[in-house]
Amino acid sequence: MSRKMEGMKMKKTMKKRKGYAILFTIIILISLTVNSIVFLIPLIKRAEALDVITYLDTNSTISISVRAIEPRINWYDFQDATSVSKKDEQIDVNQEYKFCINISSDQGWADINYINITAWYDNTSEANTYNQTLGGNINLYLQYVNLTGTANYSILWPNDEATVGNYTEAIVSDPGGSIGYTECHNLTFSFTPGYQFRYSRGDGLWDNTYNATDDAGSWNFRISVADSGENASQPATSWILGEFGVYSYTEITSAGSPNIQGNPGYNVTADSNITVVTRSNGNYSLSVDVDNLLHKVYPVYNISNQTIWIRGGNLNISSNLTGSAPIFLYGNSTTYTYSENNGTDKTTNDVEYGCDIPMSQQSGDYNATITYTVKTQT
């Protein structure tokens, strides 16, 4: 055999051996992989399990909806038109004010039948309560009616001494109510007290105790909510109390000017009675005073005011001016006539003037200023 052939044979042998080596390496790698899997499984199976004695599950809940039978008044206030609270404070006449209330009904809003707001001047005694037969300037009755699905707001009392305003109603959420049952509303009820709406200063303390009336000489109010009695044996009513005061108001809106014609030495009366229109929301007095009368052309001539006689109002007999004090048609310098129960003003149309014209009085026209004074007791 030639050397060339031996060389070729040796190369084939080397290739074959190299192939065996690669194959052997692959087998070793596969073997290692398989063995690692085989070794892992027995390790898991050999882990010892613990005894499971107790298992807690807190994923479940129990729900109970407690629904109040009666309506709930969550909060309330008495405010002016700019939403400033006036509870336990005085207010002005002829300005708009409003009661603000938040009410919840766990039986649904359709269960609410009436919201009644009654207010009364306590006349310095907390024992006094609302009495609609008195009405006028010492009682107020506002009502919200919800019987037909369309709510209605009105003033039941008084007739002229206060006027009703608008009301607003908004559905809001009650975080403390039962979801799906509770309905909650914000409501405002406005009104305007008239000029003679009874003055009340309170007792000077204005204790702001919640849900109480303890300031004598104030206006007390009561807000009540009545339902239809759904899901209950009978209707239910919830209520709450509060107070406010009213500033005094005094005014003379008009007064007539009497005209007297006569001869010297005669006691003559004016051509006609005159009318005086006043306003006072408390006990009051009304007085009249007249200056000395001066001749329009020749002021050197005059007629003393002591020649003037006046009657009217509660003064049924003519009285003459003394020169140093007025004549009172209502009350006097130390006492007062009780406030008017009704109306927004007081009309006195029977005021009569007369004059004892002195003998030999210079002829001509005389004139003097009349001063009317109305005073409210505070």
Domain ranges of the chain: 72-246, 250-376
Q: What is the pLDDT of residues 250-262, one digit of tens each?
A: 999 999 999 999 9
Residue 40 has pLDDT above 50, yes or no: no
Residue 228: HSE in the Cβ half-sphere, 13 Å Cα cutoff:
14
The Cα 207–Cα 205 span in angstroms is: 6
Of the pLDDT bands very low, low, confident and very high (cuts 50, 70, 90), residue 207 is confident
- In the prediction, which pLDDT does 208 show? 85
Residue 241 has pLDDT above 80, yes or no: yes
Contact 71, 105 (CB under 8 A): yes
One fold for 72-246 and 250-376: yes
Of the pLDDT bands very low, low, confident and very high (cuts 50, 70, 90), residue 131 is confident
Cβ atoms within 10 Å, residue 216: 19
The Cα 88–Cα 258 span in angstroms is: 46
Q: What is the pLDDT of residues 262-303, one digit of tens each?
A: 999 999 999 999 999 999 999 999 999 999 999 999 999 999
Q: Between 361 and 233, whose confidence is greater?
A: 361
Looking at the structure, give the CATH architecture of the domain made up of residues 72-246.
Sandwich (2.60)
Distances (CA, A) of 118 to 140, 219, 239, 243, 295: 6, 10, 11, 11, 58
**240 Cβ neighbours under 8 A, 6+ residues apart:** 73, 76, 211, 222, 223
Tell me the average pLDDT across 349-376.
97
Give the three-class secondary structure for 165.
strand
Going 373 to 376 to 377 to 378, the CA torsion angle's sign is negative
Please provide the DSSP assignment of 93-127 as one string.
TTS-EEEEEEEEETT-GGGEEEEEEEEEE-TT-TT
Percent of the chain whose pLDDT exceeds 70: 87
Q: Between 46 and 136, whose confidence is greater?
A: 136
Of the pLDDT bands very low, low, confident and very high (cuts 50, 70, 90), residue 41 is very low
Tell me the average pLDDT across 32-45.
47
- In the prediction, which pLDDT does 39 show? 42
Residue 11 has pLDDT above 60, yes or no: no
Residue 46 has pLDDT above 80, yes or no: no
Farthest CA pair distance, the chain: 192
CATH class assigned to 250-376 = mainly beta
**Identity of residue 375:** K
Closest to 113 (Cα-Cα) out of 169, 70, 74: 70
Instruction: Tell how far CA 272 is from the center of its chain.
Output: 48
Residue 67 has pLDDT above 80, yes or no: yes
Q: Where does residue 145 rank: exposed (0-12), middle (13-18), buried (19+ CB within 10 A)? A: middle
The Cα 310–Cα 327 span in angstroms is: 7
**Identity of residue 116:** N
Q: What is the pTM of this model?
A: 0.81
Compute the residue count for the chain.
378
The Cα 171–Cα 151 span in angstroms is: 14
The Cα 369–Cα 261 span in angstroms is: 17
DSSP annotation of 179 reads T
Choice among 206-220, 319-333, 339-353 with the minimum mean pLDDT: 206-220
Closest to 158 (Cα-Cα) out of 195, 123, 125: 195
Going 289 to 295 to 299 to 301, the CA torsion angle's sign is negative
Mean pLDDT of the chain: 89
- In the prediction, which pLDDT does 38 show? 42
- Gap between the terminal Cα atoms of the chain: 152
Residue 33 has pLDDT above 80, yes or no: no
Q: What is the pLDDT of residues 169-197, one digit of tens each?
A: 999 999 888 888 899 999 999 999 999 99
- In the prediction, which pLDDT does 43 show? 46
Cis peptide before 158 (omega within 30 of 0): yes
**Identity of residue 322:** T
Tell me the average pLDDT across 201-212.
88
Structure-token pair, residue 307? 């020649």
Beta strands at 90-91 and 237-246: parallel, antiparallel or unpaired? parallel
Contact 303, 361 (CB under 8 A): yes
